[in-house]
Every structure is written in structure tokens, then in C-alpha cells.
Structure 1
Amino acid sequence: MKTIITLLTFVLFSFQCNRLQFGSNQTKDQTAGAVVTFLQGNITITSQGKESKAKLGDVVRPGDRVLTKLGRVDLQTYRGEVIRIKDNSDVLFRDIAGESRPNTDIHLWTGNLLVKSVKLKSGQNLSVTSPTMVAGVRGTVFSFELEKGSVPKVKVYEGVVSVAFKTSPKLIEINEGLSIENYNRLVKTLEENEVVLEPGERLEVNPNLNELVYLINAKVAANALTNEQLAGFTDFDNGLSKKESVVSPQEKAEAETLVSIAQETVQKQIESQNSNPSESAVVTIEKEHEEKRVEALNKIAADAEKIGLDNEEEIHSHYSVLETIHKSNGDVLSGAVVAQLGDIFIIHSTKGVFQLSVDDIEYVEYKNFKVKTKVKK
């Protein structure tokens, strides 16, 4: 039986945002945090105004901000959620669940998240927010993407995600800039337009309404929202909707690479309160994650072999892409990159399924462009 989390009402959500921001008014819980279990590239963590380069074993606390440039990082919380922050992302952890702290609240300013939740108990919550949206989840795998100047993209791989607009309760006091008819339509849309996404579905957002919600959120607090700005918006009837979006083999494979290590290891590291992880702790985290990701990659490769594709047309049809993989030794494979984790690529080619390291590959060539995975020395 699928359980759907009930999203907060606007008034309650505003209260929650104020209460959760930087974890300032929450009961102190020294177990609230998430451990860096895997990372690539340039990752920075800002904690209490101090910026540092992320390292394996670092603990992210409520109020910390994570910025990825050309890199990505996997985090595992005390409760067991696994969160992948992808390239060029800016993420604020407004709250992180702990032993006595029930909520994990992740705010995405820009970028792309892949989240794997645990089965939550009554009273526990996991939410991902943007300036205009809130996604509530329970026991699920989903992605949440936000590009600057665009609308949020939410896609569910497993489980259920409930999505709604996030806006100020003060909206009910702002009606001078709208006709009574348009004002009533706007309030009705924002209060009732919640969408429940299931596996293989993605969110569709009305850009016009998204822009208005952003405007309200940005300016209501400062009392800077003018009647003229409100009067220009009339398309309120279609706020949120959902469309079928089949989970691709590559997306399914990436979700499988979002592995978790022993919860005892994570909890012990969080409870240690060390700003600099001990060498033994780092070794344990690295070893456990490597074992889990090897298992995941082997399973992905085995599943690809079972499909039995052995020609370009079948591979292209299944993966919706056809690539030429140029190996460092001069060999060439025709097929598709199924998954990548760290320095390992899984290639499904006409010659079979291979696990290749980044050093084995010179570059991957697509039909109209090239993506180099290694630069010639």
C-alpha cells in the first residue's frame, strides 16, 4: 500500500520555514547531520559562515550549505536518507533529521538532486523545496532539478511524491491588484492544486503561475509587491499537472548507484562531533562505499547482459542513444554508456557489456558532438 504524505498548508508551511531555517529554534540534537560518503571534483561546504573544501567523512549539519561546481557528492543522513548533489548545484540543508529531530528539509537554490528516502514513521518528514515549490516524500526515489530562470522539474523513479506551490499566507490579504474573479481563481489554484506523482511521472508547471509565486515569495515579506505587478497575471487555471515520463535504463541505473553504507558507520561518525574525520573513520567509509558501489555496478552490468542486445539498432532503441567509445588502446566500441560512478563506466556495446575505468577511455563520441572523458597528455 502506497502512503502519500500530506503537504503542509500555506500558513503552516510559512511557520515551518521560519522555524526550520538554519535549525535555529529546533531542539538541539547532536545526532542531526549527514556524512559525505562519496565525492568527485570541487565541493565546498559553508558552515557557520566558514567555507571549506569537502572531504570524505565530513559531517553536514542543519544550516550548512553545499556548493558543487564540476563535481558531485553523496550524503547519508543519520536516519538513512541518501542524497546525491550533482554538478553545479547550490543546496541549503535547512534541517536534517536526527535521533530526536523528525524532519529533513533540503532547499535547492539551483542544480539537481537525486534522493533516496527511507520508510518514514508517523510524524517524520522529508521535503525538498525551491523558492516556489515544495515536494513531500515518503519511502521513495526521485529527482528534483532547478535551473536558473526555469521552473522546477520533479520526476519519480520509485514510490510517491506530493508536490505543491509554496507561497506566503499573506497572499489572502493582497487582492487590490486583481479583479475579484481573478483573485478567487488564484487563491483556489494555489490552495487546491497539489499533484501526486507516481513512478514514471514528472511534474508540469505553468511558467506564468510559477513566476507569480516567485514574485509573491520574494516581495511580500518586504512589502514590495505592487498592484501593477499582480494585475499582469491572469493565467491561473492550470498550475501544476503531471505527465508520463518513463524511467530510462540510464536513470534506473543511476538510482541503483545511489548506495548506502552501514547505518552504524554513519551514526558513529555524526556522533563523534569531529570537524576533521579520523583516518580510520575515512578508511571505513571509503571501504564500505566501494564495496556497495561494486555490487551495484556488477548488478547493472549483469542486468544489461540479460537484455541480450547485440546490434546498434537494438541498443539505440533501448537506450535512446548510440555512442562510439574510443578506448585508450585504439579499440572502438559502438553502443551506449549505461552508467557511471566515480571512475567506472558501464558500456553496453555490440561486442558485449564492459566495465571500463576512465583511464581506459579516450573519449565518447555522439552523433553530433563529443564529450571527452580524458584529455590527451
Structure 2
Amino acid sequence: MNSISISKLVTILLVPSLFFFCKPKEEETTDAIVSFIVGKATAEKAGSVLKASDRIVESEIVKTDKDATLDLTTTLGTVRLLGGSEASIAALRADQNYIKINSGNILVKVAKLKKNESISIDTPTVVAAVRGTQFWGQVNPANETGTFAVREGSVQITRKDDEARVLVKAGEAVDLGPGIKALKVRPAAAGELSAMEQIDQMK
């Protein structure tokens, strides 16, 4: 075999190998696990009634009945949907969770995250960036109002229409609505602090 033939053979063998090694790595998704449930909750796209230990995949929409409680646990934390709530699981990555709360009340418990890890809670009007935090959120899509109250850590709230930001710390709350121009924190009300005590029950 002459040198030209050998060169051609090496090229033929190398090209597929280079393609394989240079191919971009697809980002792996993870699932959320139903870690606690009382009452009825449904996975809308799957058309199923949820039970403990069920896996919720990315892009699923979850709804809770009026008196239900549902905990969804990911690799980064736990989100509790209280009765009459709806959430869309927008993105579930090993280092990033993006959950849309369309309506209702939620409680969030997140351990201290690494620099490259993040959880974002998206509502119709704001995005809450979460890190090592325990907080409660309420979303009323009909009149575009809502409230976030923080029990532990801090939450940065960014309003979508004008990118106004406010940092809400432990023991504080912020009210949201179309008539509110400046985002201002206030002391969390006794009822809000009391509602967040059930976070201790969450995994």
C-alpha cells in the first residue's frame, strides 16, 4: 500500500471520530418528583391524576384542586403548590430549574446553591431569582396582583414590563400590581410569616 493510500485511509477513519468528539453535548434534563400530596392534583399534558413518587417531566403543567397540597422536589429544592394553583415546569436541568407559577399560592424551599446553580420562579408579571431561600408567593393573574414574602435568605424580584428590581430579605415582603410604580419592601405580615411555617414540613 503506497503512502497516498495510507493517507486516504487515515483521513477516512479520523473524520467520523472528529465529528463524534466535536458534536455539542446535549444538556441533560431531570425530573421533578411528587414528594408529598394531599387531595387531588393533575398533570394536564399527561392527563393523569398524580400520586406520591410520580415523576413530572419538563414542560408539564400541574394543577391542584381547591383543598389540595402538592410538593414537587427537584435536584435543587422543593416547591409546594397549595390549593387552586397551577404551575408549568418550564426547565429542569441538573443545575437550573425554571418554574412558571400561572396562578395560586406557592411555598419554596431551596438549599444553598453553588455558583452555577439557580432556581427561577416565573409569574405573569415578575421573575423571582432564588438562592438558599425559603419564601411564599401568591399570584392572581386576573388582576395581575401578587405578593412575595421571605422567611429565610433573600429573593430578587424583577418586574417584566420595566425590569425594576427589588431584593426582598428575611422577614420582608413585597406587593405587586398594575397600580404600583415603585417596588417597595415592607415587613412581612403575621399571617404571611405563619403561613410559611409549614415550610418546615417540606423536604
C-alpha distance in structure 2 between counterparts of 1:155 and 1:250, whole Å:
11
Q: Partner letter of residue 200 of structure 1?
A: G
Q: 2:81 corresponds to which residue?
A: 85
Q: 1:251 corresponds to which residue?
A: 195
Q: CA deviation at 1:96?
A: 1.7
Which residue of the other structure, out of 148, 158, 182, is the alignment partner of 2:152? 158
Contact 1:109–1:130 (Cα < 8 Å) also in 2: yes
CA deviations on 1:213-264 (whole Å, 9 max, x unpaired) are xxxxxxxxxxxxxxxxxxxxxxxxx331111115556335312112x2xxxx
Q: Partner letter of residue 60 of structure 1?
A: I
Higher helix share goes to which structure?
Answer: 1
SS at match of 1:27: coil
Q: 1:216 corresponds to which residue?
A: none
CA deviations on 1:189-224 (whole Å, 9 max, x unpaired) are x24x31000111111235236xxxxxxxxxxxxxxx
Identity %: 26
C-alpha distance in structure 1 between counterparts of 2:200 and 2:158, whole Å:
27
Which residue of the other structure, out of 47, 50, 56, is the alignment partner of 2:52? 56
Q: Partner letter of residue 27 of structure 1?
A: E
CA deviations on 1:55-99 (whole Å, 9 max, x unpaired) are 11101111111000131111211x14011111000100101232x
What do you get for the CA RMSD once the two structures are aligned?
1.9
C-alpha distance in structure 2 between counterparts of 1:73 and 1:206, whole Å:
27
TM-score w.r.t. length of structure 2: 0.79
Q: 2:97 corresponds to which residue?
A: 104
Contact 1:205–1:241 (Cα < 8 Å) also in 2: no
Q: Does 1:196 align with 2:196?
A: no
C-alpha distance in structure 1 between counterparts of 2:190 and 2:130, whole Å:
18
Q: 2:4 corresponds to which residue?
A: none
SS at match of 1:138: strand
Which residue of the other structure, out of 11, 31, 53, is the alignment partner of 1:33? 31
Number of aligned residue pairs: give it: 176
C-alpha distance in structure 2 between counterparts of 1:247 and 1:27, whole Å:
46
C-alpha distance in structure 1 between counterparts of 2:172 and 2:82, whole Å:
21
Q: Does 1:143 align with 2:136?
A: yes
C-alpha distance in structure 2 between counterparts of 1:65 and 1:35, whole Å:
14
Contact 1:201–1:243 (Cα < 8 Å) also in 2: yes
* 1:1-377 matched pairs, under 5 angstroms: 27-30=26-29, 32-46=30-44, 49-70=45-66, 71-77=68-74, 79-98=75-94, 102-147=95-140, 148-167=142-161, 190-191=162-163, 193-208=164-179, 238-246=181-189, 250-258=194-202, 260=203
Residues 43, 206 of structure 1: alpha-carbon distance in 2 compared, 3 angstrom cutoff: closer
Q: Partner letter of residue 143 of structure 2?
A: G
C-alpha distance in structure 2 between counterparts of 1:60 and 1:136, whole Å:
22
Contact 2:96–2:117 (Cα < 8 Å) also in 1: yes
**Gap regions ≥5 residues in structure 1:** 1-25, 168-189, 210-237, 261-377
CA deviations on 1:250-288 (whole Å, 9 max, x unpaired) are 335312112x2xxxxxxxxxxxxxxxxxxxxxxxxxxxx
Higher strand share goes to which structure?
Answer: 2
SS at match of 2:200: helix
TM-score w.r.t. length of structure 1: 0.44
Contact 1:206–1:240 (Cα < 8 Å) also in 2: no
**Gap regions ≥5 residues in structure 2:** 1-24
Q: 2:12 corresponds to which residue?
A: none
